């Protein structure tokens, strides 16, 4: 018994050390931002500082922990201001369906409009959250990739249990397809056919399918509270001359 207990302790300790080392390493990778205030200097981690600007970063796999954090941030920003937009930046390969749906439902629940931005990739549940942004406020950078597909999973146990799980994942497939149809303004048959296998898209292809609204190469010079004004194409960031003349005439008046 003693040898068994010792061996178990020896097996557990290295795992704890590795997890602690990884957590310390991840903390060190997060930049700190120092601000000068009337009371002196104040330091923020970069994500907390971005949150002050109503920017949420959804990076990496969508897990229950990540979902809880994003949901809490959405609810907090709603309590701060119910009208000012929230900007959700997505760089995710996907993740747990229930965790992603928790974020999705919260996005639909809160009152502020939510602009979604794809940087890097938005695959699987990441693409669903990208499509769930407010109409006209779904963006992607030009070299990002977007992928949609049907949910995947596995089951084991008795035949009846496996059948129950199989029926459930088919229900989830229909549910996710209907969400894409709702936001992409596309037909159920079209989306179901695209989702039958991994369907990778460029931002322009995703725009045609209705997953996003705009492809941006550069930030526009003027950003309203509802996002950059664009005709839906690639935005260069240069001001439109007619708009500049209107602004000048208003200022002169």
- Residue 27 banded pLDDT, cuts 50, 70, 90: low
- Give the catalytic positions in this structure: 124, 149
What was the pLDDT predicted at 219? 79
Q: What is the mean pLDDT of residues 68-74?
A: 98
Share of the chain above pLDDT 70, in %: 75
* pLDDT band per the 50, 70, 90 thresholds, residue 26: low
Q: Could you tell me the residue ranges of all domains in the chain?
A: 44-218
pLDDT digits over 139-192, tens only? 999 999 999 999 998 888 999 999 999 999 999 999 999 999 999 999 999 999
Question: pTM for the whole thing?
Answer: 0.77
121: which DSSP letter? Answer: E
Q: How many angstroms separate the Cα of 76 from the Cα of each of 36, 63, 85, 100, 226?
A: 24, 20, 13, 18, 19
pLDDT of residue 154: 85
User: Pick the residue with more confidence: 36 or 170?
Assistant: 170
Q: Domain 44-218: which CATH class?
A: alpha beta
pLDDT at 104 over 90: yes
What is the secondary structure of 59-87 as a DSSP string?
Answer: ES-B-HHHHHHHHHHHHHHHHH-SSS-EE
Q: What pLDDT sits at residue 142?
A: 96
Inter-helix orientation angle 97-109/159-184, to 10°? 40
């Amino acid at each position: 018994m003693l040898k068994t207990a010792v061996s178990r302790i020896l097996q557990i300790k290295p795992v704890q050390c590795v997890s602690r080392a990884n957590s310390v390493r991840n903390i060190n990778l997060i930049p700190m931002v120092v601000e000068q205030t009337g009371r002196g200097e104040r330091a923020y981690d970069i994500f907390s500082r971005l949150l002050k600007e109503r920017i949420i970063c959804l990076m990496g796999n969508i897990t229950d922990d990540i979902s809880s954090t994003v949901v809490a941030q959405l609810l907090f920003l709603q309590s701060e201001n119910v009208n000012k937009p929230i900007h959700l930046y997505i760089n995710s390969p996907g993740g747990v369906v229930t965790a992603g749906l928790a974020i999705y439902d919260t996005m639909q629940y809160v009152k502020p409009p939510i602009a979604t931005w794809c940087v890097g990739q938005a695959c699987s549940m990441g693409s669903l959250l990208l499509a769930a942004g407010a109409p006209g406020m779904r963006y992607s950078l030009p070299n990002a990739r977007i992928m949609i597909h049907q949910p995947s999973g596995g089951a084991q146990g008795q035949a009846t249990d496996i059948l129950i799980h199989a029926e459930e994942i088919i229900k989830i497939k229909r549910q996710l397809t209907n969400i894409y149809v709702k936001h992409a303004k596309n037909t159920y048959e079209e989306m179901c056919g695209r989702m039958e296998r991994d369907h990778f898209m460029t931002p322009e292809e995703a725009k045609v399918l209705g997953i996003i609204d705009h492809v941006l190469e550069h930030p526009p010079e003027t950003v309203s509270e509802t996002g950059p004004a664009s005709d839906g194409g690639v935005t260069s960031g240069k001001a439109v001359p007619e708009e500049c003349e209107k602004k000048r005439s208003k200022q002169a008046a």
